[in-house]
Amino acid sequence: MSPILAGVLQLIALIAALALAYRPLGDYMAAVYSSPKHLRIEKVIYRCIGANADAEMRWPAYLRGVLAFSVVGVLFLYLLQRLQGGMPLSLGFASISPDQAFNTAASFVSNTNWQSYSGEQAMGHVVQTAGLAVQNFVSAATGMAVAIALVRGFARSRTGDLGNFWADLVRGTVRVLIPIAVIGAVVLVACGAVQNFSGIHEVGQFMGGHQQTNGGAIASQEAIKELGTNGGGYFNANSSHPFENPNAFTNLFEIFLILVIPFALTRTFGKLVGNVKQGYAILATMGVIWLGFVALMMWTEFAHGGPALQAAGAAMEGKETRFGVGSSAIFSVSTTLTSTGAVDSFHSSFTAFGGGIQLLGMMLGELAPGGVGSGLYGMLVMAIIAVFIAGLMVGRTPEYLGKKIGTREIKLAACYILITPTLVLGFAAASMVLPDALGSMLNTKALGAGAHGFSEVLYAFTSGGNNNGSAFAGLNANTPWYNTTIGLAMLLGRFLPMVFVLALAGSLAEQQPVPETAGTLRTEKPLFAGLLVGTILIITGLTYFPALALGPLAEGLS
């Protein structure tokens, strides 16, 4: 079987699996977030944290809950790393340095999972399980909670109440993430992924000699790492490591875990607003962009010119031969179009245009289908921009789902789409002129300065600011400058947009619905989906094209 045909067949199998899970999972999540009842274990958790899960919250109170919970998470994870050296099951590893501990705490709490360390050489079992794995669950549940709050803003009227953050957080964790993650971990273990608490031991190498390796609760962390669109690997090689991702089936299964909740949330959205066709329109927009990026990535990796690539049949450098170019292309696009930092191949070794596709996927705001929760609320903000543009074209006040999009709403939406580019381009520009930061780029392994060196820096801040977490990995980012600035980009890129999303949700929930008329834009139709795709691509292109032209485009055309 040719590599191209194998990649296409894997893509078809993946789409079929996602289609089968779409309706039942989407309906189930809609029931979870609209149920008036609490499970017994949930009631215990509410008593432990002192929360009244039945109290409705307006957007400022909901936001305070999000921020307070996240601040505690950052402090706890930071202290856990700083005290690692004196903990049991530390595997003899020393405590993490202050700047790297801050970077890692910010990374996992913000659902970014950027790693400036090698997991098997730095983190013991306690930090991996009680720290990093726990944040994989709750950071994903936080994103889902904010998305549901925005959906309630569209669904409710004449009230500022958006639900209860603590109830949404606990339900998302207990009823959605944990059950699916448990099933996913069992599947991975059955297929060969490692799950233990073994210490460090020496193993023989095929060509002679020995190396040290350790086990860990890898399969369980791998499942939630993908399901929660987190991406932090137990090992430095991430999902190309056979302990994390043993074979071609688990590779496809992990892609399925990455995509299943973000896509299914569009069904949840349609159910909660009382019009599933609206969910289908958002799904179609996400699907068109995702499929288009997969096709482009396969084309550039299979058809790239050059004697070596033509002899190999594709751009094989940096690809895991167990999976092949087609599967690696699907994995790469699926992770960079979601907030998943997982990699099963070396992104820096993709062709120049392939690296540009990865960058562009993150620069879109990771909307197609985006992160768990963040993809849905990002797409809904873009939908508001799209209906505003449509309203300007016909000269009438724009409406979306029966809510008028006025001055306040469009200002909040504009602030949402401007904050991340400001962080990414600002920090990247500073890194190109400050001597210490520039030195890391000039010393990039075997790459030096030039277009690819700039792409390394741009990729690092794009990944951090958009809460992705993957890296080109040729840049030495474990320096005080990069640990601190990327940490700030991750925190600001995660929580400032949430401020605008929740304020937007509160504004929408207070409105009285306006009746649909002959002039109302039909936002469940293919025409609107096409307008939404165009809006996303144009906004991103106008924002990032100059930076892309200096990096991957310049390298690809050279």
Summarised one tens digit per residue, pLDDT across range 300-349 is: 888 766 655 555 556 666 677 788 888 899 999 999 999 898 988 888 78
Q: How far apart are the first and last CA of the chain?
A: 34
Predicted confidence at residue 203, as pLDDT, reads 67
Which residues have C-beta within 8 Å of that of residue 144, sequence separation ≥ 6? 168, 172, 176, 261, 265, 372, 373
* Position 214 in a domain: no
Predicted confidence at residue 471, as pLDDT, reads 83
What is the chain's Cα-based Rg?
23
- Assess whether pLDDT exceeds 60 at residue 444: no
Among residues of the chain, what percentage have pLDDT more than 90?
57
Residue 293: CA count within 13 A, CB half-sphere: 34
* Position 499 in a domain: yes
The strand pairing partners of 319, in sequence order, are 345
Confidence of residue 447 (pLDDT cuts 50, 70, 90): very low
- What is the residue type of 399? E
Summarised one tens digit per residue, pLDDT across range 155-181 is: 999 998 999 999 999 999 999 999 999
Confidence of residue 42 (pLDDT cuts 50, 70, 90): very high
Please count the structural domains in the chain.
1
Confidence of residue 213 (pLDDT cuts 50, 70, 90): confident
* Position 497 in a domain: yes
Task: Answer whether 345's CB lies under 8 Å from 331's CB.
Answer: yes
Residue 58 has phi, psi (to 5 degrees) of: -80, 170
- Assess whether pLDDT exceeds 90 at residue 526: yes
The strand pairing partners of 201, in sequence order, are 213
Residue 117 has phi, psi (to 5 degrees) of: -140, 165
Summarised one tens digit per residue, pLDDT across range 218-275 is: 899 999 999 999 988 888 888 888 889 999 999 999 999 999 999 999 999 999 999 9
What is the average pLDDT score of the chain? 88
Which residues have C-beta within 8 Å of that of residue 303, sequence separation ≥ 6? none
* Position 21 in a domain: no
Q: How far apart are CA 336 and CA 296, in angstroms?
A: 14
- Assess whether pLDDT exceeds 80 at residue 83: yes
- Encode 300-339: b = buried (16+ Cβ within 10 Å), e = exposed: bbbebeeeebeeeebbbebbbebbbbbbbbbbbbbbbbbb
**Residue range 416-421: average pLDDT?**
94
**Residue range 107-129: average pLDDT?**
86
- Assess whether pLDDT exceeds 90 at residue 397: no
**Residue range 338-361: average pLDDT?**
86
- Assess whether pLDDT exceeds 60 at residue 445: no
Predicted confidence at residue 434, as pLDDT, reads 80
Question: Domain span at residue 527?
Answer: 373-557
Question: Which element (helix H / strand E) includes 460?
Answer: helix 451-465
Residue 454 has phi, psi (to 5 degrees) of: -65, -40
* Position 440 in a domain: yes
Nearest-5° angle of CA 141, CA 142, CA 148?
85
Which residues have C-beta within 8 Å of that of residue 540, sequence separation ≥ 6? 360, 363, 364, 365
* Position 204 in a domain: no
Q: Of 358 and 348, which is predicted with more confidence?
A: 358
Task: Answer whether 193's CB lies under 8 Å from 159's CB.
Answer: no
Query: Residue 283: exposed, middle, or buried by beta-carbon count in 10 A (0-12, 13-18, 19+)?
Result: buried
- Assess whether pLDDT exceeds 90 at residue 64: yes
Predicted confidence at residue 216, as pLDDT, reads 78
DSSP 494-547: HHHHHHHHHHHHHHHHHSPPPPP-TTS--TTSHHHHHHHHHHHHHHHHHHHHHH
* Position 483 in a domain: yes
Predicted confidence at residue 520, as pLDDT, reads 80
The torsion angle over the Cα atoms of residues 535, 536, 540 and 543, rounded to 10 degrees, is 40
Q: How far is CA 518 from CA 396, 401, 406, 522, 528, in A?
A: 12, 15, 20, 10, 16
Predicted confidence at residue 446, as pLDDT, reads 43
Task: Answer whether 220's CB lies under 8 Å from 181's CB.
Answer: yes
Task: Answer whether 10's CB lies under 8 Å from 252's CB.
Answer: yes
- Assess whether pLDDT exceeds 80 at residue 96: yes
* Position 542 in a domain: yes
Predicted confidence at residue 365, as pLDDT, reads 85
